[in-house]
Structure 1
């Protein structure tokens, strides 16, 4: 069994390649049981959470491969870790042979998640962003932000990037890192102006208060919401939701876990029929993505086990061939 580090994941993947792999995965489908949540009670301090995200090749599908794979992401969330200088969220991805069940690889979970999350957003932008979109606003400067900038640049010709973050020094730091890679990028403290400037707005924060204001968005903008992964978190306001044509990674996940969708549904601002398509429907051509250059589109992702499986398979195949 291979044990693969974050650096090895980086070496095995490319943004264009993984976007294509995710497109194929959503088109062909996989078996994705409901995500398992288990509370781990502590006698002292905050309780932890154990998350299990399994998926496997759909062997009953008409185009199913004879081999196939099984995968499960194992994640723990331990809030008290921050006090001892460790990340609160850690995990691994276990990839198995789909026929024998034998372990094939144990892959760095956080890095695999960063890649697949960014490339899922880029896949959505392939269907939803204007073809000539060239100005990207990145809201948030955390670990996911640089991956989102690179992924969007893999599907659209991004000529200018602006980064906004509550702590401006972190935005400046990320801007410097991306400039070193050849991006034309600046950190901004004027979020309102940047919202009206951008062709693509990507947000990866844990904000409970909306940061994306729909009244400031220009016609033709594509909004990519990544960070709000619980019903209590919200990155875009009601004006954004009502102005936009809405798309999600999966209907089941977004309508139960994403505050940007759940809260407007509960308030009656939108209805389930206003969520026009998910990535399965877009990649299969069952639903239409962007219909005009003037419309505002919105994509909300919460993550899907299928994405981890596709990324894990890609990493394994590349590195197994060279080991």
Structure 2
């Protein structure tokens, strides 16, 4: 990989950049499952730093190495499961692999084949950095049976393959919740999510200062705020919504309205000028936007405020 911390949209893209065979990786569905011992043949192997835009579960039946997630380094050892989320900085280092299964999936696949409101029942998917979980032998055996069946179905040609795999993923996610995450609540998770929210708010304030001062003229999109933190847009949106109770769109709208109301109280500023400063191409667009959120027009608001 040419750039440090480069974002990758899929495991297929990551393997291509690392020069790893991609024969076993489905590039199109948003879901992959394969056994690493069929892919990694030469050891030790250390990846370049990367930030994936997908979820992953790594089930270690027999393997050794190290796994870096953000600023934490974990030893890879038998009988463990690793979960990572979109956006985390990662490096993996393999010393040996005898039997290990990797499952990756994106949010689109989850919502299409698992459940539209998947985070309601599986809120642990929102976590930042989960410590590796060591399973009891009976627990690992149960999980192994599930991912083996998922693997078989994924390789099959049933017209209902994705729905079957989605149903099996529900069972897998429920078992992991039963074993490790029954009391997990992302609202009380610390550190990185809190930093993401804080950084987003800082970016929001800075951008509006630049808009109003005329340094920039185009409003930032949600994707732009995600790019600033090197995060997947869906992941940033989820963190902000769950930590603050407000969507990013609501944060942007509230900030836009707050700044507009302040400027409307300055009689020396024409409404057209206010619209331009806030990044609206036409005063009419600004008026419609303001009326949608305030139920009165900018002119009526100005009259009332004065």
TM-score normalised to the size of structure 2?
Answer: 0.20
Which one has more relative contact order, counting CA pairs under 8 Å at least 6 apart?
1
Q: Which has the higher helix share?
A: 2
> Based on CA coordinates, which of the two structures has the bigger radius of gyration?
2
Q: Which has the higher strand share?
A: 1
